[in-house]
Structure formats: structure tokens, C-alpha cells
Structure 1
Amino acid sequence: MAGTTKTKTTASRSSRPATATRSKGNAEPQSKFHTLFMDELKDIYWAEKHLVKALPKMQKAATSEELAEAIGEHVEITKEHVARVEQIFEMMGAKAAAKKCEAMEGLIAEGQTVVEDTEEDTAVRDAGIIIASQKIEHYEIAAYGSLRALANKMGQSEVVSLLEQTLGEEKEADQMLTQIAESSINEEAAAE
């Protein structure tokens, strides 16, 4: 039986269509690899568009002026991310299209729950908003880092450059949130 299974596995590997394989280290335009990249691009496009709507709600709920300003600045940067993703779609010869991002939907809902479950005008709420925001940033860092790696493998250097720019901005936002939390909010929240 084990020998039969091995033979079937070997046979199924050799019967894969040639378009799903890589040549010269780059994925072919219509390969499964290319499809994966485009699906992930659609996912982050949905995520960024929904963040443009969700972040102002978190900004409004923030008590700390510094936190509210940081979130407000990130709203504007997120709008640039949406435009960059649209540019990438164009560079890839595709129309910009969104695919529902279940992960981002959950992270946004979690952030809203933090706002609803904490008292207004408290540092505890601000600490919760920072935690929810950093979870979002970490998701985006993972998504953009992965997209960059895929684009690099496909030899899409201009796309890689745009993705690196966005990735850098997401990392900066995460660092800023850490700085805000550690400079005052966490201490204030612990004292409440």
C-alpha cells in the first residue's frame, strides 16, 4: 500500500500544468503564484479602504490629544496607501478590486468593542485603542511584507518599491503608537 501511494503522489506531481511552475526564478504571469499575489493585493485593498472609514471613529474616541493627532495623521497616510495599491493594480495590468479581508474586519470590530466597553475620557480607553491599533498595524506589516516578497520573486521591482514605502510607513505608525503608550498613557491607565 505504501508503495502505491508513493507512486500516485509522484505521478500527480508530474502531471501538474506547466503554467503553475516557475521559470528562471520568476513566476509566470498567469501562474498560481501570480494569482496568490493578486488575491492578497485585493485583500489589503479592502482592508485599507475600510480603515479609512474606521480610523476616524477611533480618533474621535481617543482622550489623549497626542493619540488623536497620531490617528488622524495615519488616516491621511492610509488614503495614500489606498492610492498606492490602486497604482499597483494598474502596474499589474488589472483593475483595482477588493476582496473582503476577514482578518481586518475582525480587527476593526475588536477596536470598536474596546471603545464601547471602556469609559469615555479615560486613559484606559486610550490604552485599549493603542492595543487595537497596533494589532491592525502588525497585520498590515505582515501583509505588506509578504506582498513585497511575492512581488520581488516575480521580478516586479517597481511594485516592490511601492510596497516597501508602505511597509515602512506601517512600521513607523507602530513605533509611534508604542512611543505614545510608553510616554504617558500606560502609566496614566494603570493609575486609574
Structure 2
Amino acid sequence: MANKTEKNNMPNAHLHELFVDELKDILGAERQLLKGLKKMASTAHSKKLRSAFETHLQQTEGQIERLRSVFSSLDMTPRGKKCKAMEGLLAEADEIIEEFQDSPEVLDAALVAAAQKVEHYEIASYGCLVTYAKLMEHDEVKELLGQTLAEEKETDELLTEIAMSDSNVAPIV
């Protein structure tokens, strides 16, 4: 971690503690999400949706590795903290699975909605982290976090596409 002298020389050093706290939060969130994505993938009825969840599961594993690189770049040990927001979003996904398990077409639509709530949380979190890194001139960190932000946006767009072409559309009878 940057020592006091280094922090004083860092542009916008007042953001440093917030930045580190947010990094710990998103690392915890990503770790929690691994379990949630496994459950959502196994519950999805649509092959397209299941594949999207499985792909994002692999991306999430890579994003965790990228976060470890971020911590390393800052000379810090990668330590996450329990993310209460992700915990709530995943609890809501569990409720949806239980409530709509007997209605596959509705369940898939509900899973897309739950997953997009997660993606929007991640987009907001990574967007803030990229901004903080830019303001503190952590260029390498900004690039790493920016890669993850782009992946989260792509996943959100894919989920919208699945919703509009598959899960939210009534089957032709």
C-alpha cells in the first residue's frame, strides 16, 4: 500500500482509501458471483441463456485474476470483503428461481432480469473505480479495470439481446 509520503504526492490522494475499499468490495462481489452464476446457469432452460451464464462465469474468474493484478500493482495483498449489495442481488435471484421454477419461460426472463441487475451494479462499481484510478494517475490499474468494465457492458448487452430475442418473447404455438 502506498505510504503516507507517496499518498501525499499522488494526485487526488483523498480518494485512495475509498478506492481501496471499493476494490475490496468488488473483489468480494466477484467471488460471491461465481456461486450465483453456477446456480443461474444450471437453472436456465434456454441453451443461449445457459451459455451466456457459463461464459460470464469464465469471464468472472478472469476478472478476479485481473483484480489480483490490480492489488499487486498497488503493492497490496488482494483481500476482498463481503459485498452486501451482491449478497442481496443474489438472494433476490434465489427467490426468483424458487418462485418461478415451475414456469420455464418465465424463469428464464426473470433470470435475465436478475442477471442484469448484477451487471448494472458491476458496471457502476467498475465505472467508479476506473474514474478514481484515472484521477489518481494509476494508469496500469485504470487499463485493467477498464477491460473488466468493457466485459461487464458486453455481458449486459448480450443479456438484453437474449431477452429481446428469446426469454421475453412468447413462444410460437
Residue 168, structure 1, aligned to residue 150, structure 2: yes
- Counterpart residue type for residue 26 of structure 1: P
Between the two proteins, the alignment pairs up a number of residues equal to 168
Residue 66, structure 1, aligned to residue 51, structure 2: no
Measure the CA separation in 1 of the matches of 2:167 and 2:71: 39
Measure the CA separation in 2 of the matches of 1:88 and 1:174: 23
Question: Post-superposition shift, 1:122?
Answer: 1.1
What per-residue deviation string (whole Å, max 9, x for no partner) do you get for residues 21-73 of structure 1?
A: x9788134xxx421110000000000001111110100010010100001000
Question: Post-superposition shift, 1:184?
Answer: 2.1
Q: Which has the larger radius of gyration?
A: 1
Normalising by the residue count of structure 2, what TM-score does the alignment of the two structures yield?
0.91
Identical columns (%): 42
Report if aligned partners of 1:118, 1:125 keep a CA contact under 8 Å in 2.
Answer: yes
Q: Which has the higher contact order (CA 8 A, sep 6+)?
A: 2
Measure the CA separation in 2 of the matches of 1:75 and 1:102: 20
What per-residue deviation string (whole Å, max 9, x for no partner) do you get for residues 83-119 of structure 1?
A: 0011100101110101111101000111111101103
Question: Post-superposition shift, 1:148?
Answer: 0.3
Residue in structure 1 matching 2:11, options 10, 22, 26:
26
Measure the CA separation in 2 of the matches of 1:45 and 1:39: 10
User: Where do 1:88-167 residues align within 5 Å?
Assistant: 88-120=70-102, 122-167=104-149
Query: 3-state DSSP class of the match of 2:168?
Result: helix
Measure the CA separation in 2 of the matches of 1:79 and 1:142: 19
- Counterpart residue type for residue 22 of structure 2: E
Residue 75, structure 1, aligned to residue 60, structure 2: no
Query: 3-state DSSP class of the match of 2:79?
Result: coil
The runs of 5 or more residues in structure 2 that have no matched partner are none
Match of 1:14? none
Runs in 1 of length 4+ with deviation above 3 angstroms? 22-25
Normalising by the residue count of structure 1, what TM-score does the alignment of the two structures yield?
0.83
Measure the CA separation in 1 of the matches of 2:86 and 2:101: 24
The runs of 5 or more residues in structure 1 that have no matched partner are 1-18
- Counterpart residue type for residue 70 of structure 2: I
